Chains A and B, each alone.
Chain A
Amino acid sequence: MRKEPYLEQNVAIRMVDITKRFADVVANNKINLEIRFGEILALLGENGSGKTTLMNMLSGIYMQDSGAIYVKGERITIKDPHDAYSLHIGMIHQHFKLVEVLTAAENIILGLNETRLIDLKNVREQVKKICDRYGFVVDPDKKVYDMSVSEKQTLEIVKVLYRGADILILDEPTAVLTPQETDKLFVVMRNMKAEGKSIVIITHKLHEVMEISDRVAVLRKGEYIGDVLTSQTDPQKLTDMMVGRSVTLNIDRPEPVNPKESLVVKNLGVKDINGVKKLENVSFTAYTGEILGIAGISGCGQKELLEAIAGLHKLEPGSSIMFYPRGNKEEGEDLAGQSPIDIKHKGVHLAFVPEDRLGMGLVGNMNIPDNIMLKCYDQGKSPFTNKKKPRQQAIEIIHDLEIVTPGLRTPIRRLSGGNVQKILVGREISSDPYLLMTAYAVRGLDINTSYTIYRLLNEQKKKGTAVIYVGEDLDVLLELCDRILVLCSGRVSGIVDGRTAKKEEVGLLMTHFKEETA
């Protein structure tokens, strides 16, 4: 145990030998971590390495099985989020914990157990004070359902600050933000640091780690690997620490070979159940042997676009989706108005990795072979399922993609997000598709798995598959894709060349229409 007095003074939180198990899985194994005052600590690690679990023990969501937590030198037990608040620890979760129908101010005071009457005026004033101090913009009377993702996140941070937090934990805050919004967030974070607050940021994006953090702590498979000062490291070193071996950080981008029109979408329009336009007048062409990226702020119609092509949405009249398998003009099929069953029975080899893995792509309560079987269970005339082939395929996918699973019989909801995603991508690719659509294929995945996925996409590209890649990380989109289609509020605001486009240009298209396309 280190006992340097000057260090102890500086330490806001010290976690000693923290162990947490979930059933048979050790999520955190004897982890020692310290968080200092006035620093931004980046917590880095692959999926399932236990970052969120560790932080959840500080915010009172979980309790450690063994080990001790010291806050400002005092040994404490954090039983629930209330304990965490009274210790001035606040966490902003990946999935926002806000009540949609309440206003910002109401959300802020929610759960504060005030015995007095609620004085909203006072709350507003205090919120304004916090905002002015750190440079937030929050309208206290705006309802949460009217807010953008970035506004919601700001509100979460203000909520935590209002409760007097001086140790803030942000779990992948930038995953849902545009580059511009991320910059704003970083400004605020620096302001908070200047005030002496401690900030822990969990992220997968190394360039952000390099940009914002003072110190980086790395976890790997539930073990604490070590910490380094950000000024003394670089992305490559961090990756090696995270993965445990050397990983190349370059994404391949082979030139498309003999591209032919594979998917020609014209005037595509989709409305949601409430009649709100989700997609309007979307036209584009995807070519064989090419990766077409789709960028946009979350909720701009990316999801609907892929789902519409897969036959999961009712299309507006006039929409046309012509599909030419392998670019063969003679075998063109109009997919518009076809259901997924029709598309399947037409023998159109269309593979789709949806955004919602367990809610749409896979069945959480089933094991890997059964999930593989989802796509092919109805082949053949026999009324019985044939489990042999999917089982064989499952073994191959597990081997090829290095999926970590206790066994073939484990329900996949017990596996980590990265492994679940590999099963989904593995299944879709193994069908030898002519068109492969992926929505946020690497969301929440660690570097190593992400690169595996990029490699798989490139393999498909080389085989002559038309690949559509909906992504949120602009750096990756610009490195991986041949062309990038930018969606803004359900309309195409531009299609740029992935090799020449600038990040700022794409970022701008995400929020504004170019004059000529508007």
Chain B
Amino acid sequence: MMKQKHRKKEPLFRISKNGFVPLYKAWAIRIGALLLALVVCAFIIYSITKLNPLKVYGTMFQGAFGTNKRMWVTIRDTMMLLCIGLGLAPAFKMRFWNIGAEGQVLVGGIASAACMIYLRGKMSATAVLPIMFVCSMLAGAIWGFIPGYFKAKYGTNETLFTLMMNYIAIQLTSYFVALWENPYGSNTVGIINSRDKFGWFPPIFGQMYGLNVIIVLVLVVLIYVYLNYTKQGFEISVVGDSENTARYCGIDVKRVIIRTMIISGAICGIAGFLAVAGAGHTISVSTAGGRGFTTIIVAWMAKFNSFVMVLFSSLLVFLEKGAMEIASRYQLSDYVSNMIIGIILFFILGSEFFINFKVRLRQRFTKDKSQ
């Protein structure tokens, strides 16, 4: 009888799938999650540090946007993240797990740095930029082509393949760092062409990072149009959903895989160009700095919509900058700021669950009809 009684109990929560959720409602849930995350963080900040949470948030904001320079650094880093995300979007939409953005960015960076070093004095500073652009794009494209080709031809696992390509790129970077070492013995390349700024992005509208913004925003539009309105974009969606369907309706699956990976790699290569010519003016193994992995979150959270990607990459960079600021301002360890980032991301990712599913509490039996 015990078992029977136990059986009568309904589970506390009922989870069922949500149907079509209107856009405003989905965004209301997301923003609600963000606010909730801030409240939870406030409690944690107060209980650990006894600081006024509002003040801490204010500090975070200042860290990201406090001065003109900070704001532009935030924008610059957002553009970088966004650019890599745009590169990943076509591959992921094709369900090709390209986790090799890190390497594709690095080889793009190497190509740019090589142009800056070897072409100096051979042409004008304006002429070299397009060349650098093309070279880094090609380098990234090659880095994307290789795993794409092997996947298409031999069915290799692209996750492992692209991951391993990262290590090759890192080693390659180490080699070039040693080759271009400056000053001798520093084990770094140093700031390349710091005197004449050959191969550096020129300021646009008086802003040092203006060109970064323009290039990436143009890419945002291009990728959006490419994925949603072109025949090639359509092929990517079909291959991503079902290769058999693609074959059935006469799509050359192998060609689509290789082509898409070339595009994906090329855009990541452009990100390397931005990192070297438009931001760091140097090359090192940390030029990509783990962004190739961070952007996977950006691409997926935005569901490959490049305009939504702008939002998520801004959010991630804002959190990173803000957290760094509170860590240094209040002399907290990095872990506290990482905790805050973690909590906020947790809530935002978790909100997707509440958009896709309905949760109801257990209901009482109204009346037992059999009795």
Chain B neighbourhood of A68, CB < 8 A: 365, 368-370
- Interface status of B55 (Cβ within 8 A of chain A): no
CA A384 to CA B233, docked complex, whole Å? 9
A415 CB within 8 Å of chain B:
no
Please indicate the chain A residues that have their CB under 8 angstroms from the CB of B248 in the complex: 310, 312, 340, 352, 354, 360-361
B334 on the A face (CB < 8 A): no
Which residues of B sit under 8 angstroms from A24, Cβ to Cβ? Answer: 19-20
Q: Mark A37-77, 1 if CB is under 8 A from B, else 0.
A: 00000000000000000000000000101101010011111
User: Min CB distance, A56 to chain B, in Å?
Assistant: 14
Residue of A whose beta carbon sits closest to that of B21: A23
Could you tell me if B370 and A377 are in contact, using CB atoms closer than 8 angstroms? Answer: no
Nearest opposing residue in chain B for A358, CB measure:
B242
Q: B residues within 8 A CB of A356? A: 244
Instruction: Judge if B237 is at the interface, Cβ distance under 8 Å.
Output: yes
Given A76-B8, A77-B8, the answer on whether A385 and B234 have CB atoms closer than 8 Å is: yes
Q: A65-B16, A406-B20 are in contact. Are A366 and B249 (CB under 8 A)?
A: no
Instruction: Please give me the residue from chain B that is nearest to A339 by CB atom.
Output: B250
Cross-interface CB contact of B230 among A73, A74, A385, cutoff 8 Å = A385
With A366-B237, A384-B229 already in contact, the answer to whether A23 and B245 are too (CB < 8 A) is no
Q: How far is the CA of A307 from the CA of B28 in the complex (A)?
A: 48
Q: Of the candidates B7, B17, B249, B370, which one forms a contact with A77 in the assembled complex, judged by CB atoms under 8 Å apart?
A: B7
Find out whether the CB atom of B3 lies under 8 angstroms from the CB atom of A86.
yes
| A385-B231 contact given A76-B8, A310-B248, A361-B248, CB 8 Å threshold | yes
B181 contacts the other chain (CB 8 A): no
Q: Are B250 and A344 neighbours in the complex by a CB distance under 8 Å?
A: yes
B238 at the interface (CB under 8 A from A): yes
User: Given the known A-B contacts A77-B9, A77-B10, are A25 and B19 also in contact in the complex, defined by CB atoms under 8 Å?
Assistant: yes
User: Which one of A14, A65, A377 contacts B231 once the chains associate, using CB atoms below 8 Å?
Assistant: A377
Q: Report how many residues on chain A are interfacial, defined by Cβ distance under 8 Å.
A: 51
**What residues of chain B lie closer than 8 Å to A366, measured between beta carbons?**
237-238, 241
Cα(A137)–Cα(B17), bound, Å? 42
- CB distance A16 to B369 under 8 Å? yes
Indicate if the CB atoms of B231 and A23 lie closer than 8 Å: no
The residue that A360 contacts in the complex, of B3, B4, B242, with Cβ under 8 A, is: B242
Nearest-Cβ distance from residue A66 to partner chain B, whole angstroms: 8
Q: Is the CB of B241 within 8 A of A364?
A: yes
Q: Are A360 and B244 in contact (CB under 8 A)?
A: yes
How many angstroms between the C-alpha atoms of A339 and B252 in the bound complex?
10
Q: How far is the CA of A21 from the CA of B10 in the complex (A)?
A: 18
A374 at the interface (CB under 8 A from B): yes
Decide yes or no whether B14 CB sits under 8 A from chain A.
yes
A375 at the interface (CB under 8 A from B): yes
Tell me whether A318 is interfacial, beta carbon within 8 Å: no
In the assembled complex, the Cα of A357 lies from the Cα of B235 at a distance in Å of 18
- Chain B residues 1-45 with CB under 8 Å of chain A are 3-4, 7-11, 14, 16-20
Q: Is B231 in contact with A340, judged by CB distance below 8 angstroms?
A: no
What's the Cα separation between A354 and B234 when bound, in Å? 21
Judging by beta carbons under 8 Å apart, are A341 and B250 in contact?
yes
Is B247 interfacial (CB-CB < 8 Å)? yes
CB distance from A50 to the nearest CB of B (A): 15
A212 within 8 A of B: no
What CA separation (Å) do A363 and B14 show in the bound complex? 30
Asked if residues B368 and A75 are in contact (CB atoms below 8 Å), the reply is yes
Contact between chains at B16 and A360 (CB < 8 Å): no
Task: Give bound CA distance, A366 to B249, whole Å.
Answer: 15
- Which of B10, B17, B231, B237 is close to A363, meaning CB atoms less than 8 Å apart? B237
* B347-371 at interface with A (beta carbon < 8 Å): 363, 365, 368-370
Residues of B within 8 A of A83 (CB): 7
Min Cβ gap A379→B in Å is: 9
Given A74-B4, A384-B229, CB of A23 within 8 Å of CB of B19: yes
Nearest residue, chain A, Cβ from B360: A65
Among the listed B17, B232, B233, B242, which residue makes an inter-chain contact with A23, where contact means beta carbons less than 8 Å apart? B17
B16 contacts A22, C-beta separation under 8 Å: yes
Contacts of B18 in A (CB 8 A): 23
Contact (Cβ within 8 A) A341 B16: no
Q: How far is the CA of A14 from the CA of B369 in the complex (A)?
A: 11
Residue of A nearest to B228 (CB): A385
Q: Does A365 contact B (CB under 8 A)?
A: yes
Of B3, B231, B233, the most chain A CB neighbours within 10 A belong to: B231
Q: A375–B369 contact, CB under 8 A?
A: no
Please give the distance in Å from B104's CB to the nearest CB on chain A.
24
Cα-based distance from A158 to B370 in the complex (angstroms)? 33
Q: A340 to B250, Cβ gap below 8 A?
A: yes
Q: How far, in whole Å, are A22 and B358 apart by their CA atoms in the complex? A: 10
Decide yes or no whether A79 CB sits under 8 A from chain B: yes
Q: How does the 8 Å CB contact mask read for A346-371 relative to B, with 1 for contact and 0 for none?
A: 00000010101011111111100010
Query: In the bound complex, how far is the Cα of B227 from the Cα of A370, in angstroms?
Result: 13
A356–B244 Cα distance when bound, in Å, is 10
- B209-245: contact bitstring with A at CB < 8 Å (1 yes, 0 no)? 0000000000000000000011111110110011011
Question: In whole angstroms, what is the CA distance A1 to B231 when docked?
Answer: 60
- Whether A475 sits at the interface, judged by CB under 8 Å, is no
- Flag if A362 contacts B365 (CB, 8 Å): no
B18 to A, closest residue via Cβ: A23
Contacts of A383 in B (CB 8 A): 230-232
List the B residue with the shortest CB-CB distance to A3.
B370
**Chain A 78-99 per-residue mask, 1 if CB under 8 angstroms from chain B, else 0:** 0100010010000000000000
The CA-CA distance from A435 to B249 in the complex, in Å, is 16
Within the complex, what minimum Cβ distance (angstroms) separates B255 from chain A? 10
Q: How far is the CB of A461 from chain B (nearest CB, A)?
A: 24
| Complex A-B: 16 CB contacts under 8 Å | A14-B370, A22-B17, A22-B19, A23-B16, A63-B10, A70-B370, A312-B248, A339-B250, A340-B249, A354-B248, A356-B244, A361-B245, A363-B245, A365-B241, A385-B233, A410-B20
16 A-B pairs besides A63-B10, A359-B244, A406-B20 with CB distance below 8 A are A22-B16, A22-B19, A23-B16, A24-B19, A24-B20, A68-B370, A70-B370, A76-B7, A77-B8, A359-B242, A362-B245, A365-B241, A366-B237, A366-B238, A383-B232, A385-B230
Q: Which residues of B contact A (CB under 8 A)?
A: 3-4, 7-11, 14, 16-20, 229-235, 237-238, 241-242, 244-245, 247-252, 363, 365, 368-370
The 4 closest A-B pairs by CB, nearest first: A23-B19, A24-B19, A340-B250, A344-B250
